[in-house]
Structure 1
C-alpha cells in the first residue's frame, strides 16, 4: 500500500499503539524458526502490508521515511531506557568513500524515521511485547550538527584507509557498530589492503534512551551549547572552552567565580560545579542533553603532587551469575567501555596540599584495548569462575584468586562492599565480598598525562 502523505502514514502507525506482535502477526512469523526475532518484519508485512526487502532507499520511498521498530525497557529504578542501539544501514566502505553527507547512504535512507517503540519485558514471550508509542522523527538541528560531524569522522577514517580502526567510541550520537555474526564478517575497504569488520551506521543506545526519555517519559533535557556552536565546534572543543578558564583554581575559588556554594567534602560538589560552569546551573548532569545523548559520564581524578592518582577508579559491582553466562560481544564490561565516554575532571594537590583544578579529558577506551586487555581480563575472570574461586583468610582479611592489578595493567577486580559482611553469591554457591571493576591508577595516570603538555 502506498501512503501519499506523512499524516496518512502516521495515522496508520498510531493504530498499532497498544497492540501486541501476536495480535499484529498475520503470516506466522512468530512461530517461524527462519524469521525468529524479526519483529520489525511483522510490522512491515502484517501491519503496513509491504514485502520485506533490503532496498537502499527508505521503506516509504515516496515520503523519504524509514521504518524502525525498536525496544525499550523499564529499569530497576522505574526509569525507561533503550534496550539497544538503533542499527540503520550497512556501510559499504567502497562506495561511501565517494559521498558527501547529503548524498550519503545514511542520509538518503535515514533522514526521516518512523519510530515504533515496544516495551521489552524479560518475563514475556516476544509475541506479547506491546507497541507503546509511534513518532515521526526528524533530527533536531542541534542533533543534526553533531550527527553530521560524526559522519564526517567515520568518512575520514574510511578515506584514510583506516576503516579497520573504526570504533563506536569515536563519535557522539551516530555510531559505526559492528554488524555480523562474528569477527569473520570482514569487508574490503578503499585505500588499504587490510580487511575491515562489517559495520552499520547506528544511533547509539544513549541517543535512543534520550529520545525515549523525551517522547515516552516526557522528560525535558537541557542543552549547554547553542546550534551555532555545535555547527562550528565539536562537543569536546566546547567542553574544553567551558572548563579552561578555571584551570589552576581550587573548588572554592571556582565556586566563587560561578557565584555558587559548594562543600568540597560533599559528593555533589563536582557535579554542581560542572553544571554551573556549563551555564546550566542546578541541572543534573544526566539531564544535560549532550551528556545524555552521547553517553558522557564524569569521573573525578585527584592527582598527587607527583602526578600519580591517589587511587584506582571503581565502576560497577560485578554480577557473577551474569558474567559466567554472557558472551563477550554482549558482555557488560565490553559494552560499557565501547559505548561510554568518560569526562575525567582532574584535580591535583599542590605542594602546600591545596587541591587545584588541572583540566579535563574526554576519553573513551581504545578499541584495541577493549578487544585485547579487557577481553583477556574478562576471559580470566570466567576461567576462575569455571574452575572455582578460591577464598583464603589472610592477615589483611579474605582474599580470592581473581586476577590482580598486575595482570595486564589496565583493569582489576577487588572488593567494593560496605564492609566484609556485604556479600554476593557466586555461581558455585560460595559467598564473597561484593567485587567491583576498577581501572588501575597507573592506567588513569597514562590517560590524563597529556594534561601536562
Structure 2
C-alpha cells in the first residue's frame, strides 16, 4: 500500500474514475490514510466528514465544498455510504443544503438536488460504530443514475418540500414528508440559525435545513446493483 500514491489530477473519464474506485475496494481506511500521510481519528464524533474527504483525495475529486458535483467535468457526485454488518445503510445520505428564501424561479430541472443526483458514485464503507475508523473496509463502487420512476418520485418529493418552504411551512416539515427525499436540520448544533419564510410571509430565524436521501432508498440502489 505504501507504494501507491494519491492521484495528482482529477480523472478524465468515468472509466478512469471507476478504475480508481475499484482499486480502493477491500482496503481499509487506515491503509489509505497511512499511504497519504493523513492522521486517522480515533472516532468520528468530531470528524464526521473524514471518510468522504479521504475517499475524495484518493479518487481525485476537484469540487470540494462547492455547490456542484464532486467530479464536475464528468457530471458525477461521490457519496460514501456507511453500512451495517448486514450491508444495510446506517444513516440517511446528505445531498445538499435546502434554500429557505429567494426561491423564485427555482424548479426541479435547475435545482441543486437534481444536479447532484444525476449520476452518483456510491462507495460503501463499513460503518458499525465499534469498528475503529482505521479498520473499516471500503466496498465495491456502484455508479448509479436514477431511472424514470426514481427521478419522478425524487421530483415529487422535492416539489412538495419546496412548496412547503415557499408557503412558510418549514417548521411543519418533519421526517414523514417525502418518500425518497426528506428535509432535516443541517448544522453543527442548535445555536446555528438562518433566515426562512414564516407562516405570515415574514422572515423568521430557523435552523438550516438539508436534503437527505432516506435509508430505504439507498438500500434499494445497492440491492439493485448487487442483486440485480
* TM bucket, shorter chain: 0.7 to 0.9
After superposition, residues 1-400 of structure 1 pair within 5 angstroms as 1-25=9-33, 26-31=36-41, 36-37=47-48, 38-45=50-57, 47-50=58-61, 53-74=64-85, 79-190=86-197, 191-216=201-226, 218=227
What stretches of structure 2 of length at least 5 have no aligned partner?
Answer: 1-8
CA distance in 2 between partners of 1:114 and 1:143 (Å):
16
CA distance in 2 between partners of 1:123 and 1:31 (Å):
14
Cα pair 1:22 1:30 within 8 Å, conserved = yes
What stretches of structure 1 of length at least 5 have no aligned partner?
Answer: 221-453
- CA apart distance, 1:196: 2.8
Q: Which has the higher contact order (CA 8 A, sep 6+)?
A: 2
Cα pair 2:21 2:141 within 8 Å, conserved = yes
Cα pair 2:63 2:72 within 8 Å, conserved = no
Q: Check 1:20–1:33 CA distance in 2 against 1; reply closer, same or farther (3 A cut).
A: closer
- CA apart distance, 1:186: 2.3
Q: Check 1:175–1:60 CA distance in 2 against 1; reply closer, same or farther (3 A cut).
A: same
3-state DSSP of counterpart to 2:72:
coil
Cα pair 2:29 2:136 within 8 Å, conserved = yes
Moved more, 1-10 or 28-37: 28-37
CA distance in 2 between partners of 1:18 and 1:96 (Å):
44
How does the TM-score come out when normalised to structure 1?
0.44
Return the structure number with greater helix share: 1
3-state DSSP of counterpart to 2:203:
strand
How does the TM-score come out when normalised to structure 2?
0.84
Return the structure number with greater strand share: 1
The higher radius of gyration belongs to: 1
Q: Check 1:144–1:50 CA distance in 2 against 1; reply closer, same or farther (3 A cut).
A: closer
Q: Check 1:173–1:97 CA distance in 2 against 1; reply closer, same or farther (3 A cut).
A: farther
Aligned residues: 213
3-state DSSP of counterpart to 1:207:
helix
CA distance in 2 between partners of 1:97 and 1:183 (Å):
28
Cα pair 2:173 2:183 within 8 Å, conserved = yes
| Cα-to-partner distance string for 1:245-276 (whole Å, 9 max, x where unaligned) | xxxxxxxxxxxxxxxxxxxxxxxxxxxxxxxx
| Cα-to-partner distance string for 1:365-404 (whole Å, 9 max, x where unaligned) | xxxxxxxxxxxxxxxxxxxxxxxxxxxxxxxxxxxxxxxx
What is the aligned-residue RMSD (CA, Å)? 2.3
- CA apart distance, 1:52: 7.3
